[in-house]
Structure 1
Amino acid sequence: MTATQETLAVAPVATARRRRVRGVKRGHLPIALIMITPAVVGFAVFFAYPTIQGIYYSFTDFHVLSPPNWVGLDNFRELFGDDVFWHSLWVTVYFVLLSVVFGILISLVTAVIMHRLTRSTLIRGLILLPFLISGVVAAMTWSWMMDPGLGVINSLLVKITGHPLLFFGDSALAVPSLAAISVWKSMGYNAILIFAGLQTIPATIYEAGRVDGATEFQMFRRLTVPLLRNILVMVVILTVIGSFQVFDIVQVTTKGGPENASLVLQMYIYNKAFTQFDFGYAATMSLALFVMLIAITFTQLRMTRASESDLN
């Protein structure tokens, strides 16, 4: 049999097989639509519709008891001239910087220690435990521990320095104290993510580094950190987004005080919406925060080239 005859003999078989595959795919389509319907409905009801409605409210004067009144860009003009908004934005950025810098450093060191010194599942679970605690519970616990009269931390400080510190009552210490709580709560989760990234680095790379006479610190700086770039970028983005959305620990501990020293943007939005009932202006600030988070995320991805891997 020639090659042409073999091709002609195989062609009908291949055509019939493709028809059967298409038939199977069409037969699975109704089941697939049924399976994704709950997720699509949930996305539309709890995300898409509230987002569109929030964008609409940002262009209105809406105070709940009266119907929304279209005002166009008036809310955005008020936003640019609102000193409290810019102050709360600066406080939020300060909080984010503290949370990201110290949080990532502590998480990275913790993950490296777990990877190089121990493989205990119990230790990993204990490190992850703070992340599983509610933000409200964590804030209440730390507020008791930092209490100037009865807190265990201040009791130790009195023995060492002779006087307590007003962690949440001092304008200079309020934001760093809130950032410390945030770092403590998220450190375990970030460390586990980085630890998972460390597992993907081949051991032969470190062996080659030792053969070349590199010290542990040199291998950490020149091998570990560059090879963890993708994971670190993801952790930084998650930390930045979570830090910009901080609310629970501020509401429990300082409520934005003293004298607006810890008034983060989410707290200001909450006060406008649920204290002054100015939902239109609160929606405008929420939209501004949403745009800022998108811009920050894309900028981070662009600057770090997160899609590239040094292992390739």
Structure 2
Amino acid sequence: MTAPAALRHLRRSSSRRRHGDLLPALAFVLPATFGFVAFYIWPTVRGFYFSLTDYSLLGPARFVGVDNYKQMIDDRLFWNALLVTAEYVLINIVTQTVLALLIAVLMHRLTRSIVVRGIIMLPYFVANVVVAIVWYWMLDPQIGVINELLNAVGVDRLSFFGDTAAAMPTVALLNTWRHVGYTALLIVAGMQMIPRTFYEAAALDGASEWRMFWRVTLPLLRPVMALVLVLTVIGSFQVFDTVAVTTSGGPVNATRVIVYYIYDQAFNRFHFGFASAMSFAVFVLLVGIAYVQLRLTRAHDSDLS
């Protein structure tokens, strides 16, 4: 067989293999594609349609154009809910990121025990509603164990969920406690991709652990930290169950986050069109925030490549 004929034979064989792999590949991709379309794409399109209607579940949807968006812009409670959510996101992201970095460095540099990682992840495996109820009892101003301990050392009892200044930090720190282990393990996974030769070279140069963290670990973690920040910001904007179980948006709207306000408008007041408009606005906002985060952190670049 001549060289050109052999080359054509190899090309035909490769083409047949590709076509033969197409059907199994589609069979594996199809369930995930169906789920994505059914549970993400279709609800998004349907929600945008409802945002243009006056739909109350009690009758057919009536098209009203952008009236819901105008009402949203003029709604003082909507902007208050966004500010409250921003406060929650700021507290949660700062505390969760700092604590997760600290825990990840300790696990990576001192111990890699599976038992330790399991203990750190344990709060994440508990349902968020259960966590909220348990902490609600523990922080109760009358019978809560935390206030009993404060009272024992001479500190006045605190109404953690009933005080307008303390309610939102309490909710944010509660969720920080639950999610910090998961975030720490994501960061640990990123640290394990950093070759140990970098640390060995830095140690030979006389770098301390603190200097290695700032000069080696943190710069090489940039893509992972970008992913962690995007996930935690999006997740923080979606906080609902903790607020619903503990404060119900109070006191005096101090914890009425945007998702709880959307829920209240949709399922308590039956303003589904208005709630859909707010939902779509939050969706666009999160897409913009995620894009800005990825651009500023240069998540697509890695110093390891």
Q: TM-score, normalization: structure 1?
A: 0.94
Distance 1:178 1:110 in 2: 21
Which residue in the other structure is 2:237 paired with? 244
Deviations 1:83-109 (A, max 9, x none): 000000000000000000010000000
Per the alignment, residue 234 of structure 1 pairs with: 227
| SS state at 2:34 partner | helix
Aligned-pair CA distance for 1:64: 0.6
Structure 2 residue matching 1:61: 3-state secondary structure: coil
Which protein is bigger by CA-based radius of gyration? 1
Q: What displacement does 1:162 show? A: 3.2
Aligned match for 1:194, one of 183, 187, 193: 187
Q: Give the structure 1 partner of residue 69 of structure 2.
A: 76
For 1:241 and 1:93, the matched residues in 2 are separated by 11
* Superposed counterparts of 1:50-129, under 5 Å: 50-129=43-122
Distance 1:305 1:233 in 2: 8
Q: Compute the displacement of 1:204 (Å).
A: 2.2
Counterpart CA distance in 2 for 1:218 and 1:37 is 49
Structure-2 separation of matches of 1:31 and 1:310: 37
1:5 corresponds in structure 2 to: none
- Residues 198-239 of structure 1: CA deviation (Å, up to 9, x unaligned): 112222222222232222212212221111111111111110
What are the within-5 Å matches in structure 2 for residues 222-301 of structure 1? Answer: 222-301=215-294
In 2, the alpha carbon distance for the partners of 1:219 and 1:23 equals: 52
Matching residue of 1:138: 131
Q: CA deviation at 1:43?
A: 2.1
Letter in 1 for 2:173: A
Q: Provide the residue aligned with 2:29 in structure 1.
A: 36
Aligned to 1:217: 210
- C-alpha change, 1:30 and 1:175, in structure 2 (3 Å) is same
- Once the 2 structures are TM-superposed, how far is the Cα of residue 41 of structure 1 from its aligned partner? 2.2
Measured on the aligned residues, the alpha-carbon RMSD in Å equals 1.3
Shift of 1:35: 3.2
Alpha-carbon separation, structure 1, partners of 2:55 and 2:104: 48
Distance 1:162 1:47 in 2: 49
Distance change in 2, residues 1:129/1:277 (3 Å): same
Q: 1:67 to 1:106 in 2, by over 3 A?
A: same
Shift of 1:44: 2.1
Output the CA distance in 2 between the equivalents of 1:307 and 1:30: 32
Which residue in the other structure is 1:153 paired with? 146
Separation of aligned partners in 1, 2:25 and 2:300: 31
Following TM superposition, by how much is the alpha carbon of 1:119 offset from its aligned partner in structure 2, in angstroms? 1.5
Per the alignment, residue 170 of structure 2 pairs with 177
Q: Which amino acid aligns with 2:250?
A: G
Which of these residues, 139, 157, 160, is aligned with residue 164 of structure 1? 157
Cα separation, 2, equivalents of 1:76 and 1:207: 57
List per-residue Cα deviations over 1:179-200 (Å, max 9, x = no partner): 1111011100110011111112
Would you say how many aligned residue pairs link Structure 1 and Structure 2?
305
- Gap change, CA 1:253 and 1:210, over 3 Å in 2: same
Deviations, residues 19-60 of structure 1 (Å, cap 9, x unaligned): 122223323333333333322222222222111110001111
TM-score normalised per structure 2: 0.96
2: CA distance, partners of 1:43 / 1:214: 48
Letter aligned with residue 244 of structure 1: F
Worse overlay, 296-305 or 161-170? 161-170
